[in-house]
Structure 1
Amino acid sequence: MSDQDLVKLERRAVAGAGDGAAANVLWITINREERRNSLNEQVVRTMIRGIEQAMASGDVRAIVLTGAGDKAFCAGADLAKNAQGAVFAVDYSQPRSYIVELFNCMEACTLPIIARVNGAAMAGGFGILCACDMAVAADDIRFGTTEPKIGMTPMMILPYMQRLLPPRQLQEMCITGEVFAAPLLLEWGIVNYLVPRSELDSKLDWLLSRVVDKSPTALRIGKQAFHSMRDMNLRQALEYAQVMIPVMASTEDAREGMASFQQKRSPVWTGR
Structure 2
Amino acid sequence: MKVPVRTERKGAVLSIIIDREERRNALNEGVASAIVAALDEAEADRSIRAVVLTGAGEKAFCAGGDLQPSADGTPFTIDAANPKHYVANLLTRMERCRLPLIGRINGHALAGGFGLLCGCDLVVAREDALVGVTEVKVGLFPMMILPFLLRKLPDSLLMEMCLTGEPIPAADAQRAGVINYAVPGTELDAKVGWLLDRITSKSPTGIRLGKQGLRNIREMSMANALEYAQFMLVNMARTQDAKEGFAAFNEKRSPEWTAE
Taking structure 2 as the reference length, the TM-score comes to: 0.96
Match of 1:178 in 2: 166
Which residue is 1:52 aligned to? 40
1:8: which partner in 2? 6
**C-alpha displacement of 1:237:** 1.4
CA contact (8 A) 2:66 2:74 kept: no
Q: What does residue range 1-272 of structure 1 map to in structure 2 within 5 Å?
A: 1-3=1-3, 6-13=4-11, 24-81=12-69, 87-272=75-260
Identity of aligned residues (%): 51
Matched residue type, 2:102: I
Q: Residues 225, 87 of structure 1: CA spacing in aligned structure 2 closer, same or farther, 3 A cutoff?
A: closer
Distance in 1 (CA, whole Å) between partners of 2:171 and 2:181 is 10
Query: Where does structure 1 differ by over 2 angstroms across 4 or more consecutive aligned residues?
Result: none
CA-based RMSD: 1.4
AA matched with 2:136: P
Which moves more between the two structures, 87-96 or 160-169? 87-96
Structure 2 unaligned spans of 5+: none
Change (3 A) 1:179 1:108: same
How many residues get paired? Answer: 259
Q: Secondary structure at the match of 1:105?
A: helix
How far apart, CA to CA, are the structure 1 residues paired with 2:15 and 2:222? 36
Q: 1:146-181: CA deviations, max 9, x gaps? A: 110110000000110000111111111111111212
Gaps of 5+ in 1: 14-23
**2:49 partner SS:** strand
2:198 and 2:74 mapped to 1: Cα distance?
43
The one-letter code matched in structure 2 to 1:2 is K
Partner Cα distance (1:44, 1:86) in 2: 11
Give the Å deviation of 1:95: 3.6
Task: List per-residue Cα deviations over 1:235-268 (Å, max 9, x = no partner).
Answer: 1111111111110000000000000111111111
State the structure with bigger RCO (CA 8 A, min sep 6), 1 or 2: 1
C-alpha distance in structure 2 between counterparts of 1:89 and 1:217, whole Å: 39
Equivalent residue letter for 1:44: A
